[in-house]
Chain A
Amino acid sequence: MPARSPEALRLESPAAAERSGPAPGAKMSARGVSVYYGETAAVRNVDLDILRGDVTALIGPSGCGKSTLIRCFNRMNDDIPGCRVTGQIQLDGESIFGSGLDVVQLRARVGMVFQKPNPFPKSVYDNVAYGPRIHGLATRRSELDGIVETSLVRAGLWEEIKDRLQEPGTALSGGQQQRLCIARAIAVDPEVILMDEPCSALDPIATAKIEELIHELRGHYAIAIVTHNMQQAARVSQRTAFFHLGELVEYGPTAEIFTNPRVQRTSDYITGRYG
């Protein structure tokens, strides 16, 4: 084990330290979050802020708990039997576990894009319109048409498929399917978008398109992205959190993490010594 700086020790055992409040500009903030599958802790005592208008990348080797953590932000872990989340997560300063926020609304405000493109086996139009329909966001057909078009335009898909809106979403290519899923998430006007390795099933060209899209979306939403690809993290994110064995090892501006990590483990991972 390499020697650790006092700074790193503090980060690795935040329970000992005084917890800070949400950072300025934080859209969502996690404080002391642990996730257990049965008796095993997959995520331990993590403090993390997702900032408005920024892309936050979560990196780390497989099994480090980054996907588990990101799924806490819209309570997708609720549906996994035996999974238990402790600690506090806030959206705009309000607890997402509190009675004031329904999980159905939380998921509309905090959208999610999954690892594997998972369009519904319905038409492109119905895929995008599904969210607005169940939340009653459009009262008239023309309004719904508008939402679908805007979402597809924002997802960079409109020009490619504006004449194929009635074709099944599953008939699109993998990259198009993933952008369709992003459009579907955008259509309910979320404030945060969580992306769980959105490019891991895509080829480099489709990946480049998604990354470009993340750049364009950045101003509108707070985005958190889990990725295995460190170049991708470096390219798309403004802030990076490095996880290892369920713990948050280091969190800071992307440029700093990649050029001047404070913790040895981060630098070992980034330079490819393990992971």
Chain B
Amino acid sequence: MSERIPAARWSSEPMRRRLRRRHLVERRFRRLGLAAVGVALLALVTLLGSIVGNGWSAFVRTRIALEVFFDPALIGSLAEVPPAQREARASEVDWAALVRAALSRQFPDVSGRRDLRALVGLVSVGVRSELRSFVLADPALVGRTETLWVPAASDVDALVKGQLPRDAEAEGARLSAQELGWIAALEERGRLTRSFDWSFLTSGDSREAELAGVGGAIAGSLFILLVTLAVAFPLGVAAAVYLEEFAPHNRWTDLIEVNINNLAAVPSIVFGLLGLAVFLNAMALPRSAPIVGGLTLALMTLPTIIITGRSAIQAVPPSIREAARGLGASPLQVVGHHVLPLGLPGILTGTIIGMARALGETAPLLMIGMVAFVVDVPRGFADAATALPVQIYLWADTPERGFVEKVSGAIMVLLAFLILMNGTAIWLRQKFERRW
């Protein structure tokens, strides 16, 4: 053993070689990292690109201008009927005849039952109920002629959006040469337009692709999330505060902690089964209702809120607690005046992230009957409802061509909500972040 550490020869050749190698390894690592980020970005762009590329047209609706004569001979004088009976009377009216008449005036040379039916087929079947509600809202319309922009049928819509060939002979054509001729004529006369339309966001589900919207699903998701928030937030925060600030540290609390951590990792469908057993079978709550969906998702979100709440509470420096206790604040005052307000941004961030997860959850809702065809937009917590991800699942399962864009459109809506919620969480965290 020598007495001295040998002097390092910094400029010797082996030393330089080593240095070069080290730099090389570092450069290689940087390039690899950059490539990994690139692949991830590419995947994200491809995903978003294909969704937006398919989905933008869901927000655009093709409409046809009809000069509808509200024929008193067909409708009768609704104004004379007492308001209570108008609905019943209106249901007896042959609204399709009004549409047929209006289209016949556009194309006077079309005759024959078959051709006329094809002509009426250009506009959505939903136009009948549209006319009906129009007249019910204003019975004075009877006897007048109004120009109405009514939704076109799904195939016409797809053709105008370029999703179908404009050639009756081409592969995949769904419209005859005659129909294509009518459409061209309508376009020429400026009676056929496509424009951005809020109705996708406001209307409920429908069998007709051109009428289907995510309004019902948005309302359903909103009601579900309200229930989830109302149940999971207070329970989760109370549990986190109790475990962190009041509970003794012993074997039992350790056991509880382990269980909460495990619950956070339980697959969501298991919570669906739990909801089915407890809320539907044992408590007999209404099937397909937002209240049940919300309660089930609350069970799923609870562990997340408790865990993030505890870590937010832990992050409040002990010196603040000591200061408050040293002034004679009771334990509850220490929590209420100091720990909770200071931990709240963290708790809220965790809650929003838990809510975002609940918003995107499908599996538990399938188990409690929320995978349902719901036409009416739900107006309360006990109405039959569906949720956005379930709606996407339902539409993706539909064979009709018109629902393809609806699926992507609904995904866009869902992603927009998720980005909004996560953005709020980030904003909260940055706005209220404190440094001690």
Contacts and interface: CB of A to CB of B under 8 A. Distances in A.
Contacts, number: 60
Interface string A118-130: 1111000000001
Given A121-B434, A134-B333, A170-B436, A116 B319 contact: yes
Chain A interface, >50% SS class: helix
A185 B327 contact: yes
B357 interface: no
Chain B interface, >50% SS class: helix
A116 B327 CA distance: 16
A108 B323 contact: no
Top 6 nearest A-B pairs (CB, nearest first) are: A108-B328, A118-B319, A107-B328, A112-B326, A131-B327, A118-B323
B320 interface: yes
B328 A188 contact: yes
Interface residues of B, number: 20
A107 B324 CA distance: 10
26 contacts: A105-B328, A107-B326, A107-B328, A108-B327, A108-B328, A114-B319, A118-B317, A118-B319, A118-B320, A118-B323, A119-B323, A121-B320, A121-B342, A121-B436, A130-B324, A130-B327, A134-B327, A134-B329, A134-B333, A134-B337, A135-B328, A170-B436, A184-B323, A185-B326, A188-B327, A188-B328
Contact of B326 (A111, A135, A170): A111
Nearest to A130: B327
Contacts of A163: none
Interface of B: 248-249, 317, 319-320, 322-330, 333, 337-338, 342, 434, 436
Contacts of A199: none
A7 interface: no
Contact of A104 (B317, B323, B328): B328
A68 interface: no
Contacts of A106: 328
A188 B327 CA distance: 8
A35 to B, nearest CB: 17
Interface stretch (A25-33, A73-81, A255-263): A73-81
Contacts of B324: 120, 130
Contacts of A226: none
Contact of A76 (B322, B330, B337): B322
Given A114-B319, A116-B319, A134-B333, A76 B328 contact: no
A83 B342 CA distance: 27
B109 to A, nearest CB: 81
A250 to B, nearest CB: 29
A114 B436 contact: no
Contacts of A114: 319, 322-323, 326
A220 B435 CA distance: 35
A96 B281 CA distance: 57
A181 interface: yes
A159 B329 CA distance: 29
B314 to A, nearest CB: 15
A106 B342 CA distance: 26
Contacts of B329: 104, 130, 134
Contacts of B249: 81
A131 B334 CA distance: 12
A76 B326 contact: yes
A264 to B, nearest CB: 37
B326 A79 contact: no
Given A76-B322, A114-B319, A121-B342, A184 B328 contact: no
A41 to B, nearest CB: 22
Given A107-B327, A134-B337, 9 more contacts: A81-B249, A104-B329, A107-B326, A114-B319, A114-B323, A118-B320, A130-B324, A131-B328, A170-B436
